[in-house]
Amino acid sequence: MSERCRYCESTVPTGSIICPSCGSYVVDVETRKSRLHLYLIPLSMVLLAAAVFTYLNNQAQMADEADNVVQIARPDPIKQQSEREARMEKTSSQRSRNIKKILADKRKAEEEAQALWAKMDDVEKGTFLLSQAKAASSRIETIRAAMGEGKLPASTEDALSDIEGRLAVGQVYVEQKQFAVAKGWYEGIHRELDDLLPEPEAE
């Protein structure tokens, strides 16, 4: 149903606010306000939809940026492997230096012992060898105690009995003043005792 403009008498489509012919308002102020609300509701919905879309788009961009940060922070396996190999090489090098130092210290101690042995007279050599024999006997008792505690097999007793017999032979060399032979004899005995139960390192 159409209406007529009150100013120009032209036909105005139903629901219009302005006359298409003269441009005058064809409804009163209150009607214009009520009808304006009909336009504002869809406009508000459109603006709300636009705001929601913008928010979701921003969230998606932030998620992409977070993924990129994670990818950047993710460790490189090739670099990690290279770093591990470098640490292993450093550790191996340090261990090699330590072993070389231990061997050098041992050689130095042996040289000093040889120099000291060369300066000893027969009495001093006999006293030194006697102390080596007593030390070996003490170590034999320590090893037997370890056997009693189950730390060493019972078959160790055979080796200990053999060593005790060799200690007696060493004593004969000392009595005959074959000090160099007795020295090597006792050194061999102590090496065998080390194989059975190493002496604890001095702190």
> Would you give the DSSP letter of residue 101?
H
Full-model pTM? 0.49
Q: Which amino acid makes up residue 135?
A: A
CB 136 within 8 A of CB 163: yes
Give me the residue spans of the domains in the chain: 3-73, 76-115, 120-203
For the stretch 78-105, pLDDT in tens is 877 888 888 888 887 788 788 778 878 8
Question: What is d(CA 86, CA 186) in angstroms, rounded to the nearest whole number?
Answer: 45
Residues 6+ apart with CB under 8 A from 86: none
For the stretch 118-150, pLDDT in tens is 888 989 988 999 999 999 999 999 999 988 898
